[in-house]
């Protein structure tokens, strides 16, 4: 999304700078020792895309510490203002009050950087933790910075309904694919990946980070009910004992991690995609990128109860309770359905969620709000 935004705003004479979490003398030594040497050099500025830079500034002390002491937070803000002046000089930027866009309430202090800035806050995920438990500190910070925000964006309508009444302006922004990725997922010349095709079908697949975010009780239950199906999980693995899972359930496969350029071919090797997340308040508010990848690739998806996905045709996605029997029945229905219809409807749906188009529309809306 950020890369697409950078392309769009170039037409307005603007530059996008993605800011890494600032380095802190205390936490960097403990958590990122390989980067500690950066504390003694100028802040890094890297080109990472068309009209897009990555900036790695420094601040006085980690913001989780500073947020509990007002003076430390002001020192952080002063350090970041100084870093911005360095950045502006290096890039030839003359804007005294750049647009500020942040994603986590813990970062709300950036609304203090420039008194005249237009501030955007995007709620990308629910403020619960991944287990669905409340995060009181995040909730308190979200309330604290509301008055400083000029525009709230949300990725799902459920988040929009919950938070938009508290902000002066709000838009449900959504999720999607950049145009290049969309074209690759749709491209008929991209054939199913050979590593996936060699796995016995039907193949029920997921491509993404593989962790405790997924409902492994549900997945194992499906694997027991349908031993003749292959449940394929492609991507980086963390936080689970995948060897034990495979040992106990041989039809659950973990082919490994691949480059993102290979993901369209991997997804095309699935017969049906699954979004088997935990069923809790965090994931119920999700708007998963994997859904848009599956639809662009022309395969249907079965998902845990995610409210945003109920707005799409059942030809491409169905949400069901996290009960193995419900899932295998829904998956069987997809496996027996007409693939060409799913492919046609899916690509039409995905074509309405292209980051470049969404960003251009957002810019039009923002111009109406900008002073």
Statement to judge: residues 133 and 256 lie in one domain? no
Rounded Cα–Cα distance for residues 252 and 215 (Å): 13
DSSP 3-state percent helix, strand, coil across the chain (nearest 5): 50, 15, 35
Statement to judge: residues 8 and 148 lie in one domain? yes
Q: 70: helix, coil or strand?
A: helix
Please tell me the pTM assigned to this model: 0.92
Statement to judge: residues 166 and 183 lie in one domain? no
Statement to judge: residues 205 and 116 lie in one domain? no
Statement to judge: residues 216 and 305 lie in one domain? yes
Nearest Cα to Cα of residue 289 among 150, 175, 121, 160: 175
CATH of the domain at 214: 3.40.50.2000
Q: Which pLDDT value is given to residue 38?
A: 78
Q: Rounded to whole angstroms, what are the CA distances from 367 to 293, 360, 363, 371? A: 30, 11, 6, 8
Nearest Cα to Cα of residue 200 among 243, 229, 223, 234: 229
Statement to judge: residues 183 and 149 lie in one domain? no
Rounded Cα–Cα distance for residues 54 and 47 (Å): 6
Rounded Cα–Cα distance for residues 88 and 77 (Å): 16
Statement to judge: residues 33 and 118 lie in one domain? yes
Domain range enclosing 239: 179-350
Query: Residue 253: in which H helix or E strand, if any?
Result: strand 252-256
Tokens representing 320 are 């069901």
Q: 256: helix, coil or strand?
A: strand
User: How many domains are contained in the chain?
Assistant: 2
Q: Give mean pLDDT in consecutive 10-residue pieces for the chain, a chain of 371 residues.
A: 93 92 79 77 91 91 80 89 94 92 94 93 95 95 96 97 97 96 96 97 97 98 98 97 97 96 97 98 96 98 97 97 98 95 97 96 92 70
Statement to judge: residues 84 and 145 lie in one domain? yes
Rounded Cα–Cα distance for residues 313 and 155 (Å): 19
What SS3 string covers 194-247? Answer: HHHHCCCCCEEEEECCECCCECHHHHHHHHHHCCCCEEEEECCECCCCHHHHHH
Rounded Cα–Cα distance for residues 364 and 337 (Å): 41
Tokens representing 48 are 């990472």
202 preceded by cis ω (within 30°)?
Answer: yes
Q: What is the pLDDT of residues 287-319, one digit of tens each?
A: 999 999 999 999 999 999 999 999 999 999 999
Q: Which pLDDT value is given to residue 327?
A: 98
Statement to judge: residues 274 and 361 lie in one domain? no
Q: Are 149 and 119 in contact (CB under 8 A)?
A: yes
Statement to judge: residues 77 and 152 lie in one domain? yes
Q: Please return the burial class of 85, using the count of CB atoms within 10 Å of its CB with bins 0-12, 13-18 and 19+.
A: exposed
Q: Which pLDDT value is given to residue 33?
A: 80
Statement to judge: residues 332 and 185 lie in one domain? yes
Rounded Cα–Cα distance for residues 93 and 180 (Å): 29
- The DSSP call for residue 170 is E
Statement to judge: residues 363 and 338 lie in one domain? no
Q: Are 211 and 240 in contact (CB under 8 A)?
A: yes
Q: Which pLDDT value is given to residue 72?
A: 87
Q: Which pLDDT value is given to residue 32?
A: 77
Query: Residue 275: in which H helix or E strand, if any?
Result: strand 272-275
């Amino acid at each position: 999304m950020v890369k697409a935004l950078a392309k769009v705003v170039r037409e307005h004479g603007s530059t996008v700078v993605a800011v890494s979490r600032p380095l802190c003398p205390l936490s960097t030594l403990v958590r990122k020792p390989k980067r500690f040497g950066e504390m003694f050099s100028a802040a890094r500025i890297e080109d990472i895309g068309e009209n897009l830079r990555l900036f790695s500034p420094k601040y006085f002390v980690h913001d989780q510490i500073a947020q509990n002491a007002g003076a430390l937070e002001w020192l952080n803000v002063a350090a970041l203002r100084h870093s911005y002046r360095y950045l502006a000089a290096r890039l030839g930027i003359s804007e005294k009050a750049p647009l500020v866009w942040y994603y986590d309430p813990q970062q709300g202090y950036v609304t203090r950087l420039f008194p005249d800035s237009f501030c955007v806050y995007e709620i990308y995920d629910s403020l619960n933790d991944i287990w669905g438990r409340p995060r009181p500190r995040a909730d308190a910070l979200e309330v604290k910075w509301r008055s400083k925000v000029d525009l709230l964006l949300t990725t799902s309508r459920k988040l929009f309904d919950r938070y938009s009444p508290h902000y002066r302006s709000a838009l449900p922004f959504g999720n999607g694919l950049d145009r290049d990725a969309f074209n690759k997922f749709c491209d008929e010349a991209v054939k199913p990946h050979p590593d996936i095709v060699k796995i016995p079908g039907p193949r029920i697949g997921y491509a993404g980070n593989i962790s405790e975010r997924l409902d492994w009780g549900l997945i194992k239950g499906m694997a027991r009910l349908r031993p003749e199906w292959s449940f394929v999980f492609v991507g980086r693995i963390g936080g689970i004992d995948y060897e034990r899972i495979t040992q106990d359930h041989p039809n659950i496969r973990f082919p490994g991690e691949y480059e993102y350029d290979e993901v369209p071919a991997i997804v095309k090797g699935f017969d049906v995609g699954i979004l088997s997340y935990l069923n809790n308040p965090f994931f119920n508010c999700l708007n998963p990128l994997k859904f848009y990848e599956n639809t662009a690739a022309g395969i249907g998806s079965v998902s845990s109860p995610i409210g945003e996905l109920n707005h799409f045709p059942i030809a491409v996605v169905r949400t069901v309770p996290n009960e193995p029997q419900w899932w295998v029945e829904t998956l069987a229905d997809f496996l027996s359905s007409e693939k060409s219809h799913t492919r046609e409807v899916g690509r039409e749906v995905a074509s309405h969620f292209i980051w470049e188009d969404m960003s251009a529309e957002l810019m039009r809306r923002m111009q109406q709000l900008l002073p």
